[in-house]
């Protein structure tokens, strides 16, 4: 696992396939603030709740100047189905080999029911318009995280 990112770090570049069949890169957001959130698996209860929270907060985030992109190890077809089912209008990216999650320190050791394994750590990184990390949050909760992030970023309802 990579060392966790901290504010001021240069955000690792990425270019990944998206749910729409194209490719999305960090450089596509140059000149904009972007919320990059990592989630374990599309269409699971927690990840659905988190994605819908981002969807429902998208207008306030974008009006405050933030773009949103979600990244998971799911294949593109699963992401496309998830986006359609939940009416998600922000990019969902497929990181099947978890190279980007690893670069962002969002891949590592997890524990569940006493077992230790490697997996995706639910994380949110806010990258500023200059490509620097503005906020780095790891082990975030699926429920309530978007509201907390909005408070941290001082974004009104």
Helical residues (DSSP H) of 12-123, grouped into ranges: 45-63, 76-86, 99-103
CA-closest candidate to residue 79, choices 92, 66, 69:
92
Which residue reads 């590592």 in tokens?
108
How do beta strands 15-17 and 23-25 pair?
antiparallel
Largest CA distance in the chain: 44
Which one of the listed residues 34, 47, 105, 121 is annotated catalytic?
Answer: 47
Rounded CA-CA distance 156/3 in Å is: 32
H or E element, residue 75: none
Is residue 52 part of the annotated active site? The answer reads: no
* Catalytic annotation, residues: 47
């Amino acid at each position: 696992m990579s060392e966790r990112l901290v504010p001021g770090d240069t955000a690792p570049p990425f270019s990944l396939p998206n749910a729409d069949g194209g490719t999305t890169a960090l450089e596509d957001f140059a000149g904009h603030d972007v919320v990059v959130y990592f989630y374990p698996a599309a269409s699971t209860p927690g990840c659905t709740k988190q994605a819908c929270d981002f969807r429902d907060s998208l207008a306030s985030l974008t009006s405050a100047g933030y773009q949103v992109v979600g990244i998971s190890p799911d294949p593109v077809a699963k992401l496309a189905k998830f986006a359609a089912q939940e009416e998600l209008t922000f990019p969902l990216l497929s990181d099947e080999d978890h190279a980007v999650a690893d670069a962002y320190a969002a891949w590592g050791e997890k524990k569940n029911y006493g077992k230790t394994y490697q997996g995706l750590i639910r994380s949110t990184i806010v990258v500023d318009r200059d490509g620097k990390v503005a906020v780095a949050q790891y082990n975030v909760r699926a429920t309530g995280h978007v509201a907390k992030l909005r408070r941290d970023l001082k974004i009104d309802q």
